């Protein structure tokens, strides 16, 4: 009885050892069956179009110090009217004009009439349920001011009709399916007139 148990114990040990080695061999087999590296698929846009041009590495903002709370407003307006978000495209450079002098400690930073360049960052088209279109301007180039010292983006919205659409939708739920018809109310387009003044803040002591 004891001998039989001892033998079965040995068999159990041998089997479990065998399973371990088998799994180890299995792993080797898996590694061995890895496909060999093939020729990479070419990126024609990078090779045919972008390769001919030089691009600077985009500026990142990795050194900062937000201790100071001092702010100076910068007021500016667009030089050329934008009638709708369809008038601009992502990556387009647009020009704004400073509407007042900007001083810090009696030092003139921006003079009234100075050109402020910016890029159309993201164009968001208007949507159903009254969701307005918007244009996000970024990459502002304020003269004499470091990029880290101002806000990064300015988003300009069209007319927001969702404020009316959502209450209307809920009010009409008692008369199905009229509530769903409010889905088709579209949001307003972005319209930026020359005289419209925007304000961004200059943080003179930020890095």
Q: How far apart are CA 102 and CA 112, in angstroms?
A: 8
Contact 133, 162 (CB under 8 A): no
Residue closer to another protein, measured from CB, 138 or 141: 138
Of the candidate spans 59-67, 72-80, 171-179, 192-200, the one that interacts with another protein by CB under 8 A turns out to be 59-67
Residue closer to another protein, measured from CB, 99 or 133: 133
Tell me if 141 contacts another protein by CB under 8 A.
no
Of 36, 44, 105, 177, the residue at the interface with another protein (CB under 8 A) is 44
Residue closer to another protein, measured from CB, 121 or 188: 121
Tell me if 33 contacts another protein by CB under 8 A.
no
Residue closer to another protein, measured from CB, 99 or 116: 116
Residue closer to another protein, measured from CB, 92 or 100: 92
Tell me if 56 contacts another protein by CB under 8 A.
yes
Of 49, 67, 105, 174, the residue at the interface with another protein (CB under 8 A) is 49
> Residues 23, 28, 32, CA angle at the centre, nearest 5°?
145
Tell me if 127 contacts another protein by CB under 8 A.
yes
The binding site for another protein (CB under 8 A) comprises 1-2, 5, 9, 40-46, 48-51, 53, 55-58, 60-62, 64, 66, 89-91, 119, 121-122, 124-125, 127-129, 131, 136, 138, 151-152, 162-163, 166
């Amino acid at each position: 009885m004891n001998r039989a148990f001892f033998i079965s114990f040995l068999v159990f040990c041998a089997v479990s050892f065998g399973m371990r080695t088998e799994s180890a061999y299995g792993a080797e087999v898996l590694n061995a069956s890895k496909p060999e590296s093939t020729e990479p698929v070419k990126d024609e846009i990078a090779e045919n179009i972008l390769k001919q041009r030089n691009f600077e590495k985009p500026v990142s903002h990795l050194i900062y110090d937000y201790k100071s709370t001092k702010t100076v407003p910068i007021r500016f307006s667009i030089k050329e009217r934008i009638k709708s978000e369809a008038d601009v495209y992502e990556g387009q450079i647009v020009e704004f004009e400073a509407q007042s002098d900007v001083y810090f400690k009696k030092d003139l930073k921006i003079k009234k009439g100075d050109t402020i360049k910016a890029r159309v960052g993201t164009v968001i088209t208007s949507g159903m349920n009254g969701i307005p279109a918007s244009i996000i301007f970024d990459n502002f180039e304020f003269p004499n001011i470091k990029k880290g010292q101002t806000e990064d983006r300015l988003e300009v919205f069209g007319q927001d009709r969702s404020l009316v659409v959502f209450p209307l939708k809920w009010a009409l739920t008692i008369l199905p399916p009229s509530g769903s018809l409010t889905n088709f109310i579209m949001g307003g387009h972005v319209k930026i007139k020359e005289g419209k003044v925007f304000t961004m803040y200059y943080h003179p002591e930020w890095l």
